[in-house]
Structure 1
Amino acid sequence: MGETNAVTDQVRRATQGESSAFSELYRSTRPMVARLVAGFGTLDADEVEDVLQESYVRAFRGLPRLKEASAFTPWLLTIARNRARTRLERRNALQRMEEDLADPEPETVPALPSALQVERDIAVVRQLIAELPEGEEKKTVQLFYIEGQLTAREIAEQLGVGKSTVTMRLDRFRGRIKRELLQRVLAGRWE
């Protein structure tokens, strides 16, 4: 009961803008949230950490909309569960696409020498980058794929965001590339 009251008090203080309350809230609830997320057995340690960070960012941003401070813990656990499911669904969808791309039907895909395939794929990636709307995602992708000198952590430091934000942007972009390549495979067209 004391732990529940402590969390409720920390939520109230955080809602009032007391910055130390956010740290206390994170420290007191993280073990429970980490156990829940780690229970999604196929997530690796980096994915678990990303899900934790995403969950707390969402919860802390949404804190002003929380009607009852005592509802914070179940609400946070729901956010974490949903983030973990989304991560697994996204990863499973990407794996299915990769498998589809790795084993296309021979009659639908003209045989190309591997050097031409790589050149074509690079052209598709550059075209997709050029088509991105101006903004943080495009800047992140350009730094990582076009300039290619910085790690995700270094890009995060340069842009003043968390590493998980950079990796999320890069994952989103890789998903676009895979969808575009898959559409071209299925359409049987190579431009």
Structure 2
Amino acid sequence: MGSSEELAQWVRRAAGGDASAFGELYRRTRPQVARLTAGFATLDADEVEDVIQETYVRAFKALPRLKDATAFEAWLLAIARNRARTRLERKSHLRRMEEETPDPQPEAVPPLPEALQVERDIAEVRQLIAELPEGEEKKTVQLFYLEGELSAREIAEKLGVGKSAVTMRLERFRARIKRKLLQRVLAGRWE
């Protein structure tokens, strides 16, 4: 793979916008990312490939924020591990939903006008926020979605936590919203 300092130079070049450096980083690190991802035995070959691609998209997008170029490899593998875990959770969750939720009859799901659908979804989100247990996640979500005037960074400062903690809480909440809305859609509860 070459020396870590050599890799760090490619990281710096990529962070500076050198398009060829992205290709070189991908070429040099892909075997490790692929090995790590393939180690998640229940992912099939297509899912492994999706995780690898997602990993690089996320890493390359965030690359300018990486403070220490020599930390790239460890950071990249951590992203891959997280993407693979997320994929596994999603996969097992979808499998459970398929087992638990019978398919609705098409006629049981009347179409909603778009404006009403948005209004209903907003009400669903407010309901989900209300149902959250009291705590840091609920505070974060209320500040972001209900008050809506603070950025994730400002919320982090207000709550005295890192921005990554705030974004993680918001991502977790978004995943919860998607699951709940999907369950309600599948259950045909449109009233």
What residue identity is the alignment partner of 2:76? Answer: L
How many aligned residue pairs are there? 134
What percent of counterpart residues are identical? Answer: 58
> 1:61 and 2:61 equivalent?
yes
1:94 CA drift (Å): 1.1
Matching residue of 1:86: 86
Correspondence list, 1:120-139, <5 A: 120-121=108-109, 123=110, 126-127=111-112, 131=117
- Equivalent residue, structure 1, for 2:49: 49
Q: 1:11 to 1:190 in 2, by over 3 A?
A: closer
Matches within 5 A, 1:9-158: 9-102=9-102, 117-121=105-109, 123=110, 126-127=111-112, 131=117
Q: Which residue of 2 aligns with 1:179?
A: 183
In structure 2, how many angstroms separate the alpha carbons of the residues matched to 1:65 and 1:37?
A: 24
- Taking structure 1 as the reference length, the TM-score comes to 0.60
Deviation per residue, 1:81-138 (Å, 9 max, x gap): 0011011111111111111114xxxxxxxxxxx9x823224x4xx54988369xxxxx
Change (3 A) 1:132 1:30: farther
Q: Which runs of 5+ in 1 are unaligned?
A: 103-113, 134-173
d(CA) in 2 for partners of 1:2, 1:48: 25
CA RMSD between the two structures:
3.1
Partner of 1:146: none
2: CA distance, partners of 1:34 / 1:87 = 15
Is the alpha carbon distance of 1:67 and 1:100 closer, same or farther for their aligned partners in structure 2, counting shifts above 3 Å? same
Normalising by the residue count of structure 2, what TM-score does the alignment of the two structures yield? Answer: 0.60
Gaps of 5+ in 2: 120-177
Counterpart CA distance in 2 for 1:128 and 1:52 is: 39
